[in-house]
A = this chain, B = another copy of it.
Amino acid sequence: MTLQLNETHDVNLRSWVTSANQPDTDFPIQNLPFAVFRRAGSHQNFRIGVAIGDQILDLAAAHAVHAFAGFTELQGGHFTAAVNAPNLNGLMQSGAPVWSALRLALSRVLREGSPLQGSLHACLSPQNTAEFALPAHIGDYTDFYTSIHHATAVGKLFRPDNPLLPNYKWVPIGYHGRASSIAVSGQHFRRPVGQTKPPTVDEPVFGPAKRMDYELEIGIFIGPGNALGDRISMDQAESHVFGLCLLNDWSARDVQAWEYQPLGPFLAKNFASTISPWVVTLEALAPYRTGWQRDSTDPQPMAYLEASSLRSSGAFDIELEVLLQTSKMRETGTAAQRLSLSNFRHSYWTVSQLVTHHTVNGCNLNAGDLLGSGTQSGPAPEEAGSLLELTEGGKKPLQLANGEQRIFMEDGDTIIMRGWAKKDGAARIGFGEVSGTLLPAVI
Contacts and interface: CB of A to CB of B under 8 A. Distances in A.
Q: Which 9 A-B pairs have the closest CB atoms?
A: A264-B264, A192-B361, A176-B176, A175-B263, A263-B264, A271-B361, A267-B361, A270-B363, A271-B362
Interface in A385-439: none
A335 to B, nearest CB: 29
B302 A266 contact: no
Contacts of A264: 175, 260, 262-265
A76 interface: no
Contact of A174 (B158, B204, B263): B263
A420 B302 CA distance: 46
B195 A362 contact: no
A316 B360 CA distance: 39
Interface stretch (A15-23, A103-111, A179-187, A280-288): A179-187
B270 A361 contact: yes
Contacts of A267: 357-358, 360-361, 363
A193 interface: yes
Nearest to A258: B167
A192 B228 CA distance: 11
Contact of A261 (B142, B143, B167, B362): B167
A351 to B, nearest CB: 17
B303 A206 contact: yes
Contact of A189 (B171, B180, B362): B362
Contacts of A298: none
Contacts of A165: 261-262
B228 A266 contact: no
B206 A266 contact: no
B363 A170 contact: no
Interface in A128-167: 139-140, 142-143, 145, 155, 158, 165-167
A225 B225 CA distance: 28
23 contacts: A142-B266, A155-B262, A165-B261, A167-B197, A167-B204, A167-B258, A170-B203, A170-B204, A171-B195, A171-B259, A174-B266, A176-B177, A179-B179, A189-B228, A190-B229, A192-B361, A192-B362, A194-B360, A206-B303, A264-B264, A267-B358, A267-B361, A270-B363
Nearest to A139: B180
Contacts of A155: 262
